[in-house]
Structure 1
Amino acid sequence: MAEKPTIFILNGPNLNLLGLREPDIYGHETLDDIADSLEDRALELNVAVDIRQSNHEGHLIDWLQEAQAVKAKAVILNAAAYTHTSVAIYDAIRAISVPVIEVHLSNPHAREFFRHKSYVGEAALGTISGFGAKSYLLALDAAAKL
């Protein structure tokens, strides 16, 4: 039996606090709740998911490079606040050939002005945002079809 293609789902700083942190913006679902939904959808799409979270920029960069090394089908990346600040993550995305889909729970363009700039979005294949936890499922559907 052929191995399923793997999609990395990488989550940045403070996403470990989902469900507790500003639920009026980010919702009440935890990252574990989102991971469970993604694993269920992955089964339906016949892909594997590798879901990770870190509060450290370097981990996200290492994992982007790892996605390239293991020939992942795609990366879904919620870089959280690093979206708006990290040239290093931008460079890491540009350095790999694996397609990256940027995802956000909220719509950054409907929020504070400093969130309107996305270094990740400038390097990513596409962006899905503003649909809460469903943003991840929409991104997974798109990634599976690449």
Structure 2
Amino acid sequence: MWINNLSTDHDTVLTRYSATSRQIAAEFRDAPPRPAMESINEPTFSGTWGDDESYRLLAELNRAFHRVVRDSGGRNANRLLVLPTLYTNSEQGRLDALAAELTALHDPMVATTIRFYAAMAGRRCPLAARHPHLRHPGPVGRHRRHRRPDRPDTVPR
């Protein structure tokens, strides 16, 4: 993906990313508040000199995304925004870098996302026992919400 080249073609990629984010934000400006918007899916950067540079690049993209969406107005002023960790995984360094971003944004309508792809295909996901409102239909990573008896407003989507 072209965003991966942020370290080697910084200005071009950032300009294109901001323009793309503006188009998407404009499209959803007056949409119901339910759709969340994510800055980037599973971010990775080529040509970097390690995680510290990649953290800096991801923080820059996340800030640009946050600013563009919030500044677009309408329902985007309070829409839930989702920011990933580097590589969208849960290593402590990646979590710490994202936590610093979240603190700097001072925005209660920002969520985070991580992915966990385990070599556990066919085995019960460890999240299922701790989160009974999630149903595990198969290999790890394929959760579906189902109606919770104690929360009638929870409907499968």
Q: TM-score range by the shorter chain?
A: 0.3 to 0.5
* More strand, by proportion: 1
Whose RCO is larger (CA < 8 A, sep 6+)?
Answer: 1
- Structure possessing the higher radius of gyration over alpha carbons: 2
TM-score using structure 1 length: 0.35
TM-score using structure 2 length: 0.33
